[in-house]
């Protein structure tokens, strides 16, 4: 079902959809026969909502594929993450909450060390302190070539996001990082004719950066830079144009705010950084949007840290906040994740993600439990994550009949 088909059926409505994404929600039992994090958590509110919902398991990218956060979010947002790939450079810029424009070319940057002959001796410049990175980034931001703007945004230690903003820049560029020491950094080459301008500018920037870093005092090991993963922000049809939704994003971390911005959501300011603060933001902005995406980061952080019981507690924290959501009387509620992050694996994983879809018009499964095995018995079955949004829109009475 392509977007054009769906788009033509979209009709306006006064309904509101809320999508709660617990990052890395899906889990695994620690012992064979045991319970997952979500199954272990005491979640009376989610269980009660589950009883009135359709349940299922979503595949963010495809069977067996472990998604990064970018593809995982694009999937649950309704997009095919293979078709709309977010390049590594663009992800790095999103991660520092940089507002990438459609013509910007972004890259991942490293401060590195070279010897007197320019030969690479340390690809990470001894992992310089973040503060030193910030100081050097400020220095590099002074570079301006032919009216093109360059942004250098500290990530941490030796890492930074690089963004080039100007007219006629394309991202089909080779990388300067040779991925090993004992050799010279590589020049950037254009892989397509339309990237020649960008290639020339990057090479000039790197040369100026080299001179500035070498001359800068006090003495520091970061006397050169490496750039890789050049990428523009992909162009995706946005929520307003695709779904007719005036959408808002409530997320604390830059990466998620960036992906939400990519799909045309209004990224709201959250006062504070707790999950409760995010729910407060939801309440405050309730009247102004049709769709809310609310992102909970700590489930994933706990999963990646291998902290089963912390992940359980974060899920319970979200559960305890659910009455504040239901009090708003949303028409459609989706509770899901962008991927699984089982504490057992201490990483993202390929396992399908437990998903709940509530509305007054959903054909409820009557399963009063929100968990992986409960969702496996649900009527949504195992479905591509991108199919959730059309079902949510239908339940929000925002899709007209097809054919007579």
Tokens 């963004």, residue located: 163
Strand, coil or helix: 39: helix
What's the gap between Cα 32 and its chain centre?
32
Is 91 a binding residue for its own copies by CB under 8 A? The answer is: yes
Task: Name the segment binding its own copies (CB under 8 A); options: 13-21, 206-214, 303-311, 390-398.
Answer: 390-398
Q: Is 390 in the site for its own copies (CB under 8 A)?
A: yes
Strand locations in 177-274, DSSP E?
224-232, 247-250, 266-267
DSSP structure class, residue 2? -
Of 24, 221, 330, 352, which lies in the binding site for its own copies, with binding defined by CB under 8 A?
Answer: 352
Q: Where does 119-273 have alpha helices with state H?
A: 130-140, 196-215, 239-243, 254-262
User: Judged by CB, which is closer to its own copies: 181, or 347?
Assistant: 347
Window 322 to 351, contacts with its own copies (CB under 8 A): 344-345, 347-351
Residue among 30, 139, 191, 383 that touches its own copies (CB under 8 A): 383
Residue selected from 1, 116, 215, 327 as contacting its own copies according to rule CB under 8 A? 1
Beta carbon nearer to its own copies, 90 or 325? 90
Enter the DSSP assignment of 234: P
* Out of 20, 28, 106, 148, the residue judged to bind its own copies by CB under 8 A: 28
Q: Which of residues 156-185 bind its own copies (CB under 8 A)?
A: none
Rounded CA separation 99/247 (Å): 17
Least distance to its own copies, CB of residue 247, Å: 17
Nearer to its own copies, 187 or 381 (CB): 381
Q: Does 9 bind its own copies (CB under 8 A)?
A: yes
Stretch in the footprint of its own copies (CB under 8 A) among 170-178, 192-200, 264-272, 374-382: 374-382
Q: How many of the other CB atoms lie within 10 Å of CB of 285?
A: 15
Nearest to its own copies of 65, 186 (CB atom): 65
Please, which of residues 193-252 interact with its own copies by CB under 8 A? none
Cα torsion 66, 69, 75, 76: sign: positive
Tell me the CA distances in angstroms from 378 to 208, 289, 363, one per residue in order: 59, 30, 10
Closest CB 132 distance from its own copies, rounded Å: 24
Total residues contacting its own copies by CB under 8 A comes to 69
Cα–Cα separations (whole angstroms), residue 297 to 23, 206, 248: 5, 35, 17
CA distance 78 to 45: 26
Q: What is the DSSP letter of 68?
A: P
| Short-list 218, 202, 212, 217, CA closest to 109 | 202
Task: Tell me, residue by residue from 36 to 75, as one string, x for binding to its own copies by CB under 8 A and - for no binding.
Answer: x--------------xx----x---xxxxxxxxxxxx---
Q: Taking CB under 8 A as the rule, does residue 393 contact its own copies?
A: yes
Q: Provide, rounded to whole angstroms, the least separation between the CB of residue 323 and its own copies.
A: 17
Longest dimension (CA), the chain: 76
Per CB under 8 A, does 102 bind its own copies? no
Residues 318 and 275: beta-carbon distance below 8 Å? yes
Radius of gyration of the chain from Cα atoms? 23
Closer residue to its own copies (CB): 235 or 287: 235
Per DSSP bridges, beta strands 120-122 and 105-114 are antiparallel
What's the CA gap between 200 and 189, in Å, rounded? 8
* Residue 353 contacts residue 337 (beta carbons within 8 Å): yes
For position 191 contacting its own copies by CB under 8 A, the verdict is no
Binding site for its own copies (CB under 8 A): 1, 5, 9, 26, 28-29, 32-33, 36, 51-52, 57, 61-72, 81-82, 85-86, 88, 91-92, 344-345, 347-352, 361, 363-366, 372-373, 376-383, 387-395, 399-404
């Amino acid at each position: 079902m392509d977007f054009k088909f769906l788009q033509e059926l979209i009709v306006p409505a006064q309904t509101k959809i809320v999508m709660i994404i617990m990052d890395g929600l899906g889990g695994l039992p620690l012992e064979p026969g045991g319970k997952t994090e979500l199954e272990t958590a005491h979640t009376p509110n989610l269980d009660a909502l589950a009883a009135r919902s359709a349940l299922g398991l979503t595949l963010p990218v495809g069977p067996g594929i472990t998604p990064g956060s970018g593809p995982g979010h694009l999937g649950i947002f309704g997009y095919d993450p293979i078709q709309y790939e977010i390049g590594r450079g663009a992800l790095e810029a999103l991660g520092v909450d940089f507002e990438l424009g459609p013509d910007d070319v972004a890259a991942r940057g490293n401060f590195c060390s070279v010897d007197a002959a320019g030969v690479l001796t340390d690809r990470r410049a001894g992992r310089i302190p973040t503060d030193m990175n910030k100081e050097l980034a400020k220095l590099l931001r002074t570079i301006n070539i032919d009216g093109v703007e360059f942004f250098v945004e500290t990530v941490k230690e030796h890492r930074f996001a690089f963004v080039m903003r100007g007219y006629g820049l394309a991202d089909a560029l080779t990388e300067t990082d040779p991925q090993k020491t004992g050799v010279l950094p590589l020049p950037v080459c254009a892989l397509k004719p339309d990237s020649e301008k960008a290639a020339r500018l990057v090479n000039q920037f790197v040369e100026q950066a080299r001179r500035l870093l070498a001359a800068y005092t006090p003495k520091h090991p970061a006397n050169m830079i490496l750039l890789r993963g050049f990428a523009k922000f992909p162009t995706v049809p946005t929520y307003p144009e695709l779904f007719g939704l005036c959408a808002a994003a409530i997320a604390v971390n830059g990466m998620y705010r960036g992906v939400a911005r990519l799909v045309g959501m209004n990224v709201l300011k959250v006062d504070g950084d707790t999950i409760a603060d995010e729910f407060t933001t939801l309440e405050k902005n309730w009247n102004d949007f049709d769709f809310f995406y609310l992102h909970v980061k700590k489930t994933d952080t706990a999963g990646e840290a291998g902290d089963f019981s912390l992940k359980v507690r974060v899920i319970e924290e979200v559960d305890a906040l659910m009455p504040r959501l239901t009090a708003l009387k949303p028409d459609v509620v989706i509770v899901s994740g962008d991927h699984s992050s089982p504490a057992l694996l201490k990483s993202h994983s390929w396992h399908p993600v437990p998903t709940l879809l509530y509305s007054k018009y959903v054909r409820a499964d009557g399963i009063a439990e929100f968990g992986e095995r409960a969702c496996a018995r649900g009527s949504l079955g195992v479905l591509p994550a991108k199919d959730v949004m059309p079902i949510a829109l239908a339940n929000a009475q925002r899709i007209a009949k097809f054919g007579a």
